[in-house]
Amino acid sequence: MKTNKILMGLALVASGFSFQANAFDSHPVLDLETAQKIAAGCQAEALKKGWKMSVTVVDAGANPIYFQRMDGAYIASGEIASLKAENSAKMQMPTSALEDFSFGKDKKGGPAPGLALIPGFVTLAGGLPIKTSQDFLGAVGVSGGMPNEDEACAQAGLDAVKSLLK
């Protein structure tokens, strides 16, 4: 009987340690090298299509990791790319989805039209989340062309690191 109680006590203590260990599990983090590869993928697509883009990559907390503005890109495109990346990271969804929430797919009004009125909130395509199969890592924001071009460029950046995001 005493042996059973001792074993039960040890089992409870051991399970407590395993729960505490979960609090310190590590998660993948988006590093500078990967952010630069994403931006390089965007730049390659932009050069191929004749676009002049700005690209911002942020981490899961929407903190900037990398920024580049191609020669000839509009000055304002840098700020817009950063806002797209930040908004995509903070919402963990493409900014095109925010556009649909604000304006609807048919552009006649969406379920949350007030999103477009929030200061600093960008509801234009061009911001995409960066994810592995299990973890959210950050986002990329692109600006300089039409919103569909910005999103295609951002997607090219993600495609460039697809093998790293498994």
Single-letter amino acid code for the residue at 144? G
- DSSP string of 13-36, one letter each residue: HHHHHHHHHHTT-------HHHHH
Task: Provide CATH code, domain 26-165.
Answer: 3.30.450.150
Both structure tokens of 22? 């979960």
More confident residue, 120 or 76: 76
**pLDDT at residue 18, as a whole number:** 47
Q: What is the pLDDT of residues 69-109, one digit of tens each?
A: 999 999 999 999 999 999 999 999 999 999 898 888 888 88
More confident residue, 137 or 110: 137
* Neighbouring residues of 109: CB distance < 8 A, sequence distance ≥ 6: 103
Residue 81 and residue 142 in contact, taking contact as beta carbons nearer than 8 Å:
yes
What span, in angstroms and rounded, lies between the C-alpha atoms of 73 and 80?
12
pTM, whole model, 2 decimals? 0.83
**pLDDT at residue 78, as a whole number:** 97
Average pLDDT over residues 146-158: 98
Q: Quickly state the pLDDT bin for 123 (edges 50, 70, 90).
A: very high
Q: What is the pLDDT of residues 23-50, one digit of tens each?
A: 666 778 999 999 999 999 999 999 999 9
Both structure tokens of 71? 């020669």
Residue 140 and residue 161 in contact, taking contact as beta carbons nearer than 8 Å:
no
